[in-house]
Every structure is written in structure tokens, then in C-alpha cells.
Structure 1
Amino acid sequence: MKIYKYILGIVLVGASVSCNDFLEESPSKSTSVVPETIDHLESLLNDYSTFAAEGASELIFGTDDFALTTDLFDGIPASISTTNVHYATWDTEYLPTTTRPYWTQEWKKIFIANLILQNVSDVSGSETQKQQLKAEAHFIRAYSYFQMANIYCLPYTNGNKAELGLPLKQTTSFEENIERATLEETYAQIETDLQIALELNMDLEVINGQNRTWRASTVAVLGFAARYYLALNDYTKAQSYAEDALDLHNFLRDYNTDMSFSTRPNPVTIFNPDPEVVNIDYPYTHDLQTIPTDKLEWGESYYYRFLSNYSWNYYPSTDLLGIYDQDYDLRYKYHIVEDYTYDRGAVNPAFSYPGYIFFFKSDILSGPSVPEMLLIKAECQVRQGSWADGIQTANILRGYRIDASAPANVRDLFATSQEDALTKVLEERRREMPFVHRWYDIRRLNNNEVATDDVTLSRTFYPYTGGTVLSSETPINFTLDKNSRKFARPIPETDIIASGGVLKQNQY
């Protein structure tokens, strides 16, 4: 039995998805447990812990939102692993042999979607329920394929359509082909799944004001559609879907009234050189490490997904820090935690650097949301010529993020031209959704109809080996040019070996 068929097909559903009897046995080629009722399939989708986490190190470390400097590494080397450095410098030599949790996480979600599609017609239950489950499964599959295509494949352009896409897994069969389809074929499947998912007719709110963001809904699919078409630079469709989503749900948290600091003390003793106690001020959301209901009840989200940083080191770059108004922007006040490195161990000698905190030290909401829809609408308005309207749309969000005491010329964005408006809306997007969307944005900005928003990534850092940062050597420059083939990150070498060469690595 070939290992790669487990990697891309069998994903140990019984071990991790539900405690129902039919799932307690892990599937194998010789034995499998078949779901019999609609409730069995519903239980697969109700386990939000399976679908929510997105451990994509490429997004966390691979953009100009993340600080990778020699000073930061010297100050707290234990907090930035060599693997973090590999991701942050777009390495292609060592990363193929690194454990890749995101790759396996997303294939697991695709497997569950395929399991539902394969069995939904045969289980007991109403036709209405079955059609809803089918639409939701197509949504999950489209979502995961889109996420992976934006990491492991080149950007979708006319010139790249024949490049390597992803294996198109549509069943749970061991025998299904895992050869990589073209990029054009991959996006064709995503769009086909998306169009079926748009048939989903499910409210976001279910009972007593609780939003069921752990499951797909009509507004979640609309939000994803807006994200998808923005990535394709189809501004008409992206704006239309964003507006449709906002018509259904447009709640925004007011950071003036709905955010606060943690009431738990976080004292840290530093040595500078004498001992000194410093209290680290975290937002209250930092305390929610093991309380998923608070994340689910955030209110702005359409779909419960979060970027998960297992290293707890969202260190914002000086470039990112520089676009916040540090006096009045409440996102800076509550999400940028000063002296964060003290809490991570840089106390003797003391080295101070801030961290970005959303939920606990690891999680940033990443699913489609009200803020994202407003910013998609604003950008699309600007790019299609209605740049003054786009600025006003962005200002709707700022009304909930900027200190109420701020002067009007600080609270609201102003623009003097379409180009100026685009710059300001893109900066607002980056302020609102750092780390989560920046990688996707750089890919599309470098491949759209204008050159004024292009981004070249560059870092000066120490050389390294597979397991060591050579901090005693002279720093060198690492660059990711706008047309670099390194925008398609390496897939795990273990899968390629196990496939006997059927699965092809990206070429650099």
C-alpha cells in the first residue's frame, strides 16, 4: 500500500473528526466504516476544530508584514527557528524536506468534503438536507483548493495557465490519479465547486443571536466568492459578491466600546542590567486560548477560519508598524503589544520588540468577514474609477477602528486622485488584515493591470543551513522578485518520493 495514497486520500477521519461510532475506526484499504444517516455527515462538518486552523507558515513569515532582521534574531534567537527563517527567505533548498502541516491539513478537509459528496445520496435524510450538504461540501473543497493554489502554485495568469496546479481529488478512492493538473484545470474545478456552493441557502444566524460560523452559510459562500474574484482581478464580480454579502450581514465591532485590555496581570522581570518588573498589556482576546465560543461569537466573521502560528511569533515589521496611526488607530492600541519579546524570554539581556496579538499568541481570524467585504468593495470601486466612493466605503470601517476622539482628518481617509485612493485603500486593507491576506495580495498586485501597486520582497539576514542560522557570518540579501517562480512554494518531498515521481515538484 503506497504511503502517498494516505496523504492525499485517507486522512484518519475516525481518529480526529467525531466520537460517533461510525467514525471511531480509522479507514483503511481493507476496512472502512460507511456513514448511514444525514446526521453522520452533519457530525463531520460540526467539528470546527478540524476545519478552522490554517497553519500556513508561508503566510505568517513570507511577507513584508513579518519582521526578520538581524537585530531581532540577535535579541531573541530562540523565538525564531531556522525553519521560520526558511519560510521568511523563500527557501527552496531545505523546505521541501520540512514537515508541512498546512499541506496535510487542507488535504484532510478536501477528503472530508469528498467523503460527504460520495455518500450523501445514499444516506437517509430529506432531499433538502442532502442538497444543502452537497453545496457545503463543494464550498469546503473550493475553499481549500483556493488556499493551496495560492501557496503551492504560481499566480493564476494567462501566461501561467499551463503551469502545474494541484492533484484534482474528487473521490476518496485509493486509485484516483494524483498527478498534478494544470493551473487552468485547478481553477476551473475551484470555480465549478464555487458555483455549486452558491446554491447553498442557509442563514448565518441560528438561535439567540448566535452565528453558526463553524458551518458554511449563504453569506460565507458569497464572501468567499468576492475573495476569489478579487484574486482574479475581476473587480465587477468581486464587488457584486461583496455587496451581496454585506446586504445579508454587516455587523462591525466598535473598537471604541467592544475592545479592552486583559484584566489578568502579565508581569515580566527583565534585567537591564538591574531587575525591573514590566507589565505586558494584552488585549482581552489574548486570554481566549481555549474558549472557541468567543472566537465564534466575534460577530464580524462569516466563516470560522484562523491563521495559526505555532511559534507564537507574529513580529510586525517596521514597514507594517509604520502605516498605523499610533496615537488614534485602535488596532494598533489593542493588537500591537509592546515589549512582547520580554514575555517570550528576551529578559537577560532585555530586548524589546512588539508582537501582533489577535486571539491568544497564535490565532488571527482569516475567514471571510464584514471588514474584508468592505475593503474588497472599496478597492473594486477605486479600480473601476469610482475612487471617491471607494474612500467613503473604507471610511465606514475606520469609523469602528479609529479612536472617537480623533480629529476628522485623522479618522477619515482622503484622496486626491485614483492612484492616491488605491494606495490608501490598500494600506487600510493591510492594517486591518495583516499576515492573513498579505501573501495573497502581493501575488495579485504583481499580476494585475497596473504596475504602481507592485511589491518586491527583500530581506537582509544571516545565511543559514538546513538546521542552523549562521549568525556569526556577514548578512546577505534575500529577494523575491515580482515574477519569481518561488511564489509557488515547494510541496513536501516525502509525497513526491512516495508517489514514485507521479507527483511533480515545482521548478525553480
Structure 2
Amino acid sequence: MNRKYLKYIVFSIAVIFGSCKKFLSEKPLSSLATLESLDDYKAIIQNEIRMNDLYPFCYDYSSDYFYLTEEDFNALDETGRNGYAWEAQPAHQNNWNQNFTRIYDANVVLDGVDNALLGNWSEADRREVKGTAYFFKAFTLLHLAAIYAPAYEPGKSHEKPGIPLRYSSDINEDIKRATLEETFRHIEDLLLKSCELLPFSTKDKTLPTKEAAWAALARHYLNMQDYERAKTFADSCLGFNDVIIDFNNLNQMATANQFSELNNEVIFHATKGDFSSMITTDKARVDTSLYDLYPEDDLRKYLFYTTKENGNIAFHGDYSGSQSIAIFSGLARDEVCLISAESSIRTGDVQKGIATLNKLLAYRISKSTFTPLTTSNQDDALKMVLLERRKELAFRAGLRWMDLKRLNLEKSTSTTLKRKIGNREVELEPNGDRYVFKIPDRVIAISGISQNP
């Protein structure tokens, strides 16, 4: 079955909280108790539905890509309405349960793979399985931290709450919320370990490689405002493979999505859920504050967006190849280019940053009109790259939310989000409490961990 159709399967996660110590630890698969061979562990870590699908979605419900009509808003389930309107209520529990289940699966592999019987496999295969487990655990935690923890601030994150960290699959392991510093350093450690173990290539982009780990580290360090390290890992990616799709060669007049699943820019393929069916071409209407950023010769205006029969603008440029919903949650090379460009600019190498940005834009703007950007001013260059991040990475799961959180830490780049719902106007102030989602009530009740404001 083609992976794009799997995204619409209703996948039931068996996460049952029997006691405080069983918080996030009930075995999702009964077969996990009989693991012996490397084949068994490969089957867990290569299960695409469990490992590559169903990443979080609530941060996109709250982002500023789009708006809903009052009718469509009222038709949503309660958690969807809460997320869209920035209410002080927990996001849908799938954002939590399905992702901590993936972490459990990764921990099962990490706990047992060193002693697994190799059979016809080699020690190199064992290392790859272990590196893959490290990657999936880290990549999942990276997304969960964007939802349930505040923005990382260098030197100010030792006392702030992070998220619960599970270090093993032992159901008796004591559970508590780590600090924000511990959370981000744990993600860093897992990704660095994966870099050492993963191969340079795999049979499919649903499995991570060294390049994927480098890209994830670049994103992670960008979120930490560690721009030197973000640049180092972004440049490692681009030095290994710098292939970018030339939008001039695509059909800007086509009504179908021109980006195939596993296209040439995709480094690692993953997709998010969409429980409330909010980010669909039928409901999510692209906000003019975003759409108007694209000049007429910007090919993204035609390849990312389509005009519906009713005149509304909808997004249809998802890198998963989907025709009707924005669900790509993986890693792609255009994001890495932008991380390299921004990090170069922030660390003082303005010319390198602008050159990297121009390399991307040469494939995004019509060849007949493209004029390279030029500036030697760091502030102007930063504005340019942040503008392109917003345009290039629109509807890319979680990235706008991560950007809003880190950029809100500086007054010059902060944003107040506004929405009108019927006759009601709502706002989300920079660094407001609603940038950190509440943990599901049942998790709080059973585990006893502290709730977010």
C-alpha cells in the first residue's frame, strides 16, 4: 500500500495507564515480550506506521498559516476548537500518546538489541538498528518539546520544566519531568549517538541516515540558538548532498501536487496526524498575511497554493505528495539550506549566508526575473532569511511554531498572533502561556507530574 494512503488509517494506540509507575509504559505490542533475534528488533524499528506516521499536529492548529470560517470552526471537535482558539485546555491526547508509544518502542530496541541473535545479519546491521532507535527517540522528543515545553533560552533553562524522559522500557522506572536543559541535552545526546551508528544511505527514506541525524541536529541547535553548531551540522548535510529541486522545471499550471512522495529534497520521511481534519484544502484557508508575501515571479505561489472554486486559497504543496492535506513532518534539504543561511548570518558570515540563500532562491524564483539578493548588513540579511523561512517552510509540521517560540524571545522578531472567530477576536501574545500546551488531564492525574500553566 502506498504510504500516502496510510495516513488516513485510524490507528488505535493501546496506551493504558494502570498506575503511576506504568505511566507511558504499557507495552503497545504483546509480541515485544518475546524478542530474541535482530529480525525482531528490525521489525519494531522499521514499522512505518508506528515510527514514521502520527507525529504531533496540535502546533499546526495553533499556527498562523491559515484561518477557518466560523462554520468550519464550529464543526470541529472540542480539542480542535481549543487549539485553533488558543484556549487553556490540553491538546488532543493523540499528540501525547502516539508519540510516547514511539519512544517506548525505541527504548525496547535500545534495551535489547545488543544481546539479540544476529542470524544472517552482521554487527553493522546491529549498529544501524541501534542508531535508528536513537534517532526515532530523539526526533520524537524534539517534536514533543516544541509542544509541551517552553522555548529554550541559553543560560536560563536549568530551572524551567521540560518533558518526561524515559531512559528505558522498564515499567518500574520512576517518572518525573526533566528540566528544559536536561530535555534538550538528552535530545542532543541521542542524535549524536545516532550520527555515530547510522549508515550514509538506506534502502528507503523512511529510515534515517547520518544525513538525517545531521539535519535533525541542525534543527535542534537552531531551536537552542546555538548557531555555530547549527551551521556545522547544516553544512555537513549540504557537503554530503546539496540537491535542490528546481521549481522552474515543474508545471506551475498543474492542479495536482507537483511534489512526489520521497522527492529529491526529502532527507527523512515522516508525517503527522490530523485528528480534527483541520489542515485540509477544504477547510484551511491560507491567510493573506502569508500568501501576499510571494511576489508574482515566485514559483512557490503557484506550486504551493491553489485557488479553489469558491475563490479561497488552499495549500497543496506538501512534500508527502498529498493532494488534500498538509502532513509532511520529516526533514528536507530546503530547510537545511535555510538553517545554514541563518546560522551563517547570525555568526557574522553574512556573505556566505546570503550566497546559500541565493542558491535556494535561484530554484524558487522564475529564471527570467531572478536577481540575487545582496547586502552586507547583518540585520537586513537576517530579515531576508527569516522571510524566506516563513515562505519556504509554510505548512511544514511544527516548524513555524518552533520559529515563533524562539523568535519571540527577541522583541525585534516577536509576533502577536490574531484570529477572528465569528464576532470574537482572540490573540496570542509573544511568549504567552499558550505557546506551551497543557499535558492531557489523565496523564497529570495518574502520574502526578506538574501541569503547564
TM-score by length of 1: 0.77
Larger radius of gyration: 1
Mapped contact 1:260–1:283 kept (Cα < 8 A) = no
1:232–1:330 distance in 2 versus 1, CA, 3 Å: same
Quote how far apart the aligned CAs of 1:284 are. 4.5
Alignment partner, residue 237 of structure 1: 229
Alignment of 1:122-271 (within 5 A): 122-125=115-118, 126-157=122-153, 158-204=155-201, 206=203, 212-259=204-251
Alpha-carbon distance in structure 2 between the residues aligned to 1:424 and 1:73 = 34
SS at match of 1:202: coil
**Structure 1 letter corresponding to 2:424:** P
Alignment of 1:14-25 (within 5 A): none
Contact 1:50/1:109, CA 8 A, preserved across alignment? yes
Q: Please state if 1:431 is matched with 2:391.
A: yes
Out of 110-119 and 179-188, give the one that drifted further: 179-188
Given residue 108 of structure 1, which amino acid in structure 2 is its aligned partner? T
1:446–1:454 contact (8 Å) kept in structure 2: yes
Query: 2 CA distance for matches of 1:61 and 1:399?
Result: 32
Cα distance in 2 for residues equivalent to 1:256 and 1:488: 40
1:404 to 364, 367, 384: 367
Q: CA deviation at 1:442?
A: 1.0
Q: Which AA in structure 2 matches 1:504? A: S
- Structure 1 Cα separation of the partners of residues 258 and 251 of structure 2: 7
Secondary structure of 1:295's counterpart equals coil
Q: What is the Cα deviation at residue 458 of structure 1?
A: 2.6
Residue of structure 2 in register with 1:272 after alignment: none
Aligned to 1:360: 323
What is the number of equivalent residue pairs in this alignment? 422
Deviation at 1:42, TM superposition (A): 1.2
Task: Give me the identity figure in percent.
Answer: 27
Aligned to 1:10: 26
Whole-angstrom distance in 2 between the partners of 1:159 and 1:385:
24
For residues 287 and 80 of structure 2, what CA distance do their matches in structure 1 show? 15
Report the AA paired with residue 432 of structure 1: E
1:455 and 2:400 equivalent?
no
2:163 alignment partner, SS class: strand
Aligned partners of 2:99 and 2:140 also within 8 Å = yes
Q: Where do residues 309-324 of structure 1 align in structure 2 (5 Å cutoff)?
A: 309=274, 310-311=277-278, 312=280, 313-324=283-294
Is there any run of 5+ residues in structure 1 with no aligned partner, and where?
Answer: 14-25, 207-211, 263-280, 286-293, 343-350, 463-470
Counterparts of residues 468-487 of structure 1 (less than 5 Å): 471=422, 474-476=423-425, 478-487=426-435
Distance 1:446 1:78, change over 3 A: closer
Indicate conservation of the 8 Å contact 1:203/1:217, yes or no.
Answer: yes
**1:55, 1:220 → 2: CA distance?**
16
1:422 matched to 2:438:
no
Unmatched 5+ stretches in structure 2: 1-16
RMSD (Å), alpha carbons = 2.3
- Measure how far apart 1:301 and its partner are: 1.3
